[in-house]
Structure 1
Amino acid sequence: MEKMKILHIITRLDRGGSAQNTILTVRGLGRMPGAGCQIPDAGSRMADTGYRIPDARYQIPDAGGRIGKYEMTLVTGSVEDVDVTGINLVIIPELSRGLNPIKDILCLIKLYNLIKTEKPDIVHTHSSKAGFLGRVATKLASSAIWHLASGHRHPAIIYTPHGHIFYGYFNLVITQIFILLERFTAKFTDKIICLTDGEMKDLLKFGISKDRGKFLTIHSGIDLERFKGVKIAREKKRRELGISENSVVIISHTRLVPIKGHKYIIEAAERVAGCQMPGTGCQMADIRFIFVGGGGLKSKLEIEVEKLGLKGKILFLGERDDIPELLTASDIFVTAPLNEGMGRAIVEAMACGLPVVATSVCGIPDVVKDGVTGILVSSGDIDGLANAMLTLIKDPSLREKMGEEGRKRAELFGVEGMV
């Protein structure tokens, strides 16, 4: 029985959302039974009669009527503190995030040789850098495969951006270059998978492709079981952190990098803390903020926290393995990115029954129902963030109501639906 070969390409495997999404996809498809998955002749590349893996994840062109299981290979530049047990890995060290012409050319050559040798049925690229190099290498290699291997078809090229970089990241000139590169590679991409409808709308707005049929929305899947029925007691986790049971705990879980907007949360936290000052008529319970995640901004943010007199009010915990327990020990989840494809951490928070305060950018409104599972504010709106947090701090019943609605909504983002 001949296997269907699927090659995934991503820059790095770390704790970030795109890497976790890719790992879950590879593992999930690897467990799917192949028997009965027939791939009929399509007659033309990506024709409507082509086989679709369940829920139209991939649309496969002519494959000669083969039936078989999936052979999954994951190509990456590095593996950073994540479990890749049981995954068939190919490491290409030159595949890295930064711009390095020599490394990038070497990476392109290695990808080209790998694809030409392996002759995959599908090449699924993830994120912008690996997405560009992987798709160009596949296009070049597929031409060689077509001419050298009689009867072998072109691989289907799939691309998941995992959020775009068209605002909030770079200046206008660099951004425009990236948009032009995305438009170029989209011409020979068969499917572009968006995490949310909001992300898809942005890609269409920026003219990445005029072919609406190229785009498909598949939510980033979360292992929801990990966040259900957390065993450790809320009180115990708070004691470990030195936080009183009577405190209102606001947690943010994301990388400490500029695009994630921590500076806005810190400035909003100062205004929230100001409402606890005597004479304001707005005395409340003790409020603590928890920042979970690593990144290069930690030192700078800690200096800002101290300057604003918030030392002891905001805790930086770094990378953690006990995210479900930390969420369960918290009362409100806050995130203020300038750009976000979907926000896996938001879904995790909702799965733990937390109301969400977030900025209304890109795909977040597709995840958080404003006024139902949380409160959305404009990007960079410090007063809006502060007021939204204060609304939830003052109203425990509203927190509980939104948390329960969020728990229900999180079920829409399970890993089974993604795979």
Structure 2
Amino acid sequence: MNVVDTRVPDARAPLRLLKVVPTLLCGGTENQVMALCRSLNHGRTDLEMACLRRLGPFVKEIDDRRIPLAEYPIESFYSLNALAQQAKFARHLTRRRTQIVHAYNFYGNVFAVPPARLAGTPVVIASIRDLGLYLTPMQKRVQRYVCKLADRVLVNADAVKDWLVRDGYAPEKIVVIPNGVDVSRFSAPREPSRLRCELELPPDVPLVAVVSRLTRLKGLEQFLEAAALVGQRFPQARFLVVGETPPHDPTYLDDLKALAGRLCIGDRVIFTGLRSDVPALLANVTVSVMPSLNEALSNALLESMAAGAPIVATRVGGTPEVLTDGKTGLLVPAADVPSLATSIARLLDAPILAAQLGRAARQVIEERYSITRMAATTENLYRDLLTRHARKTERRGIRHERAARETHGQWLGTLTSLVDRPALPIAEPACSVHVVTDDAEFLALEAEWNETVERARIGHPFLRHEWLRTWWECFGRGCRLHILIVRRGGRIAAIAPLLSDTTRSYGISIRRLRLLHNDHTPRADFIVAEQPEESYRAIWKALCEQRDRWDVLQLSQLPEGSPTLDTVSSLAAEDGCLSGVWPSGDAPYVRLAGNWDEYYSRLSSKFRQNVRNRLSRLTRLGEPALETVIDGAALLGAREDAFRLEASGWKAEAGTSIDSDPAVHRFYALLAERASQKRWLHLLFLTVNGERIATSYGARYGNRLFLFKTGYDPAHAQCSPFKLLIYFAVRHAFAEGLTEVDFLGDAEPWKLEWTPTTRAHHWLFVFANTSRARVLHHAKFRLAPVLKRWRA
């Protein structure tokens, strides 16, 4: 007979506690879980642990501490094995009569909370310790549902609570307990010379360090860019990057090293890897930097404060809750490289201020963020929830509780029988659409985004993440991201890279959704990788659901053959929305069929004679050659020559050169840096005796060469250097086995000398089914053409 104990638990009795984590790798959550396990009063806690993969350096420590650790291996939650493991977990909870289950992070929560509730565990706690940027919309919905089953959702910062409340969580269920630090580990005396001796550096060298897991949201690229600026003022400074890459992104470290090389600071940046002596290291750096783009509450921040290190951190997530600007450290906006560099330099310039900030930061940790305080608060929460449960059970009565336990047992039996049955076919998951409006979330999509571009077989680089990210950073001022991500079964099926802004058209103020596009993006479109009909409908449905936020949908520079033009027009017509199309430029391109001699012989004899004459003139000055620059460091150096040549002559006078606009200059500078990492950006030069006299930005993507942003030295105008650059570039493309050279832009006469073939582009305008939008459609597609013909 089951005996149900409804008495209020004895405060002195050990709590039967089980903690669930996905793995035991060396991440922020795992570090906090282990610190909490070390600090809980083991005389008052009967602790055991569970994981989904017995993986990571903390496994040995758990075994050494003789804490029971059970593995419930799950490769996918879309499997009967997942149900089987959850049934096994529930049976264990029932047999052991576990009082508290505390699960961590998405996979831990989804695995443990439902079976714990099913097993009748008195107290079930879920933990969320991030801002959800790594979760798909479907995962967010699943976690929100799972957390409704928990008694409490434990978070580590008010920023996380605020996000969850906005996402539909009940505020009364959310408890904030900040991370804690074992302050005693950070009490070692400072020995600056020891660390510098180990690194083979002079004893007085300033050390600026980032301690972090090396992931793309930690702002490490911005740190290196800031380091390059700081290094100009403090050439003796060295920059430490301490940490390792996660298993899912092993090449990121190589990307960072390559970036350091391109920034010409490769010899001043030290990548130390993972270190076990972080407390000693932090105690002896000159400045500790937290450049995260998105963060809930960083353990590295608290550890730096505990070590008394002067800190520069980005104002993200829970960081401002802990670090007070000008009192315990310096705060800067996320992704703001100049501000980051300025603040680092300020602390290097002012050692007295730096020391004051470090001491104040240490005091804050001792008073409010010690691991002892965190452990006591957490244990008090456990006991309070257990007491509440016992009193609630006592009020409901033993009989009711016994009936509940019998029901749980029946459910467990049913679950066990289900997992023993043959597998049934799983229905194809439906589409879901998520709107990305946050810069950090957009940045986090890079790998998935580019993988989607490749699956969509888009034959140009202008929709790749690095292109659009750079465009947004340089031209997105005054706008807001409104990117629609369509997922199917968790994988991205389609992307509509849109932004929202307001403008005036024909005297009417309008709200507009438009593609991330201006004159510096030659081609734009939606990215559709699978199930095109379903994906387009999902995008249109999402746009219709937000129709009160836009008057016009503007899809600029859609290339000939894009299904977006006809599909979106048809979907709009079905819903009674007016649309209209404007023809845009026709971009000439050369099909590289046959060989160079055959192609060249088909060009007009007059044109070929002109090329021979120009080449003869240039040869009298020296040996002409085509130079193609691809590699990072060389490309960054050559970039300045390209800017100089592009600005020569009429472009600088007309104010249309790259150097004429700081935003445009930044765009092409950053694009060269980022695209060179992917090795698709080529800088082409025509040289004579080694002197660069003409240039073009080139994108070698797949089997095609794209040419844009061209220029030449007017001192050699009599030789037509740009015409000769095209001559050598097209000839080289034939030799390389490429299939096309695309001149992009408009059908200018010089391009048509090389080819009569063009690719049309169109702008599609879709108008919301409102009076304002219908008036605008009438003005744009009825009145404006009539006025244009009349004036002609």
Q: Does 1:159 align with 2:126?
A: yes
* Alpha carbons 2:226, 2:340 under 8 Å: kept: yes
Which residue does the alignment assign to 1:15?
26
Question: Equivalents in 1 of 2:347, 2:155: separation in Å?
Answer: 31
Q: How does 1:13-412 map to 2 (within 5 A)?
A: 13-31=24-42, 33-34=43-44, 70-76=45-51, 77-82=53-58, 83-84=61-62, 85-92=64-71, 94-95=73-74, 101=79, 104-142=82-120, 154-165=121-132, 167=133, 169=134, 174=136, 176-207=137-168, 209-210=169-170, 212-230=171-189, 233-273=191-231, 275-276=232-233, 284=234, 286-295=236-245, 296=250, 297-411=252-366, 412=368
* Alpha carbons 2:130, 2:295 under 8 Å: kept: yes
Deviations 1:113-157 (A, max 9, x none): 322332311100011211121112212332xxxxxxxxxxx4211
| Structure exhibiting the larger radius of gyration computed from Cα positions | 2
Question: Equivalents in 2 of 1:268, 1:414: separation in Å?
Answer: 32
Deviation at 1:89, TM superposition (A): 2.9
Q: How has the CA–CA distance of structure 1 residues 115 and 224 changed in structure 2, closer, same or farther, with 3 Å as cutoff?
A: same
Deviations 1:49-75 (A, max 9, x none): xxxxxxxxxxxxxxxxxxxxx211111
Question: Equivalents in 1 of 2:83, 2:343: separation in Å?
Answer: 48
Which residue does the alignment assign to 1:413?
369
* Alpha carbons 1:247, 1:285 under 8 Å: kept: no
Deviation at 1:336, TM superposition (A): 1.7
Deviation at 1:109, TM superposition (A): 3.5
Aligned-partner residue type, residue 35 of structure 2:
L
Deviations 1:338-389 (A, max 9, x none): 2222111111111111121111111111121112111112222222211221
Deviation at 1:99, TM superposition (A): 7.0
Q: How has the CA–CA distance of structure 1 residues 294 and 100 changed in structure 2, closer, same or farther, with 3 Å as cutoff?
A: farther
Deviation at 1:198, TM superposition (A): 2.1
Q: How has the CA–CA distance of structure 1 residues 272 and 28 changed in structure 2, closer, same or farther, with 3 Å as cutoff?
A: same
Question: Equivalents in 2 of 1:342, 1:26: separation in Å?
Answer: 19
Structure having the larger proportion of residues in strand: 2
* Alpha carbons 1:132, 1:182 under 8 Å: kept: yes
Deviation at 1:229, TM superposition (A): 2.3
Question: Equivalents in 2 of 1:253, 1:214: separation in Å?
Answer: 33
* Alpha carbons 1:27, 1:87 under 8 Å: kept: no
Q: How has the CA–CA distance of structure 1 residues 237 and 190 changed in structure 2, closer, same or farther, with 3 Å as cutoff?
A: same
Residue-pair matches, total:
354
> Aligned with 2:33: secondary structure?
helix
Q: How has the CA–CA distance of structure 1 residues 315 and 102 changed in structure 2, closer, same or farther, with 3 Å as cutoff?
A: farther
Deviation at 1:30, TM superposition (A): 4.0
Question: Equivalents in 1 of 2:84, 2:214: separation in Å?
Answer: 31
What TM-score results when the alignment is normalised by the length of structure 1?
Answer: 0.79
Aligned-partner residue type, residue 215 of structure 2:
V
Q: How has the CA–CA distance of structure 1 residues 268 and 95 changed in structure 2, closer, same or farther, with 3 Å as cutoff?
A: farther
* Alpha carbons 1:94, 1:106 under 8 Å: kept: no
Deviation at 1:230, TM superposition (A): 3.9
Q: How has the CA–CA distance of structure 1 residues 159 and 300 changed in structure 2, closer, same or farther, with 3 Å as cutoff?
A: same
Q: How has the CA–CA distance of structure 1 residues 188 and 93 changed in structure 2, closer, same or farther, with 3 Å as cutoff?
A: closer
Question: Equivalents in 2 of 1:86, 1:367: separation in Å?
Answer: 32
Aligned-partner residue type, residue 80 of structure 1:
G
Deviations 1:55-109 (A, max 9, x none): xxxxxxxxxxxxxxx211111222422322314232315257x877466445434
Question: Equivalents in 1 of 2:79, 2:352: separation in Å?
Answer: 56
Aligned-partner residue type, residue 56 of structure 2:
E
> Aligned with 2:217: secondary structure?
helix
Give the stretch that moved more between structures: 108-117 or 213-222. Answer: 108-117
* Alpha carbons 1:248, 1:285 under 8 Å: kept: no
Aligned-partner residue type, residue 307 of structure 1:
R
* Alpha carbons 1:119, 1:155 under 8 Å: kept: no
Q: How has the CA–CA distance of structure 1 residues 251 and 87 changed in structure 2, closer, same or farther, with 3 Å as cutoff?
A: farther
Deviation at 1:319, TM superposition (A): 0.9
Any unmatched runs of 5+ in structure 2? 1-11, 376-792
Aligned-partner residue type, residue 369 of structure 2:
F
Q: How has the CA–CA distance of structure 1 residues 398 and 104 changed in structure 2, closer, same or farther, with 3 Å as cutoff?
A: farther
Aligned-partner residue type, residue 227 of structure 2:
A
Which residue does the alignment assign to 1:279?
none
Any unmatched runs of 5+ in structure 1? 35-69, 143-153, 277-283
Question: Equivalents in 1 of 2:260, 2:48: separation in Å?
Answer: 44
Deviation at 1:245, TM superposition (A): 2.0
Deviation at 1:328, TM superposition (A): 1.8
> Aligned with 2:40: secondary structure?
helix
* Alpha carbons 1:125, 1:160 under 8 Å: kept: yes
* Alpha carbons 1:26, 1:74 under 8 Å: kept: no
Q: How has the CA–CA distance of structure 1 residues 106 and 257 changed in structure 2, closer, same or farther, with 3 Å as cutoff?
A: farther
* Alpha carbons 1:127, 1:160 under 8 Å: kept: yes
Question: Equivalents in 2 of 1:186, 1:360: separation in Å?
Answer: 28
Q: How has the CA–CA distance of structure 1 residues 202 and 270 changed in structure 2, closer, same or farther, with 3 Å as cutoff?
A: same
Question: Equivalents in 1 of 2:322, 2:81: separation in Å?
Answer: 37
Deviations 1:183-236 (A, max 9, x none): 2112111111111222212221222x12x22111112121110111247x3202
Aligned-partner residue type, residue 294 of structure 1:
E
